[in-house]
Amino acid sequence: MDFMSNPFVKTAANYSVVVLCLILFLAVFELVTRYKNWHEIKKGNMAVAMATGGKIFGIANIFRFSIMQNDSLMMMVAWGIFGFVLLLASYFIFEFLTPRFQVDAEIEKDNRAVGFISMAISIGLSYVIGAGIE
């Protein structure tokens, strides 16, 4: 009997792998932003909390689509990584498309409008990315 054919085992495996990927991907976002996410959140910076929450939702949503479309754990991870790269690219595109201000600087200053738009971009594009996952 195939061990991964058990739905409880498969769910636990998917969950475990996605949590590990989420931690890794959040660490990557921490490296590319100019502020320290968890330090700012601890200080009560709502803009950073919204932007980070959007990234968490976006990553999890991409993996949701990947799990739904793939029976193999390896393919699920591969599509999840690909989706994350696209989500990361959207972060840089947002920064590029706002030449009048620096997104990171505004989020670090607790500009909640910029934090909200950042969250909406991460969530919205995660659905677009997820829709393309096969």
CA distance 98 to 57: 23
Number of domains in the chain: 1
Average pLDDT over residues 32-41: 94
| Whole-number Å distance between alpha carbons of 58 and 64 | 10
What is the pTM (predicted TM-score) of this model?
0.93
Average pLDDT over every residue of 86-102: 92
User: Which domain does 113 fall in, by range?
Assistant: 3-131
Highest average pLDDT, of 5-9, 93-97, 110-114, comes from 110-114
Distance (Å, rounded) from C-alpha 72 to C-alpha 85?
20
| Predicted pLDDT of residue 3 | 77
Res. 4: pLDDT tops 80:
no
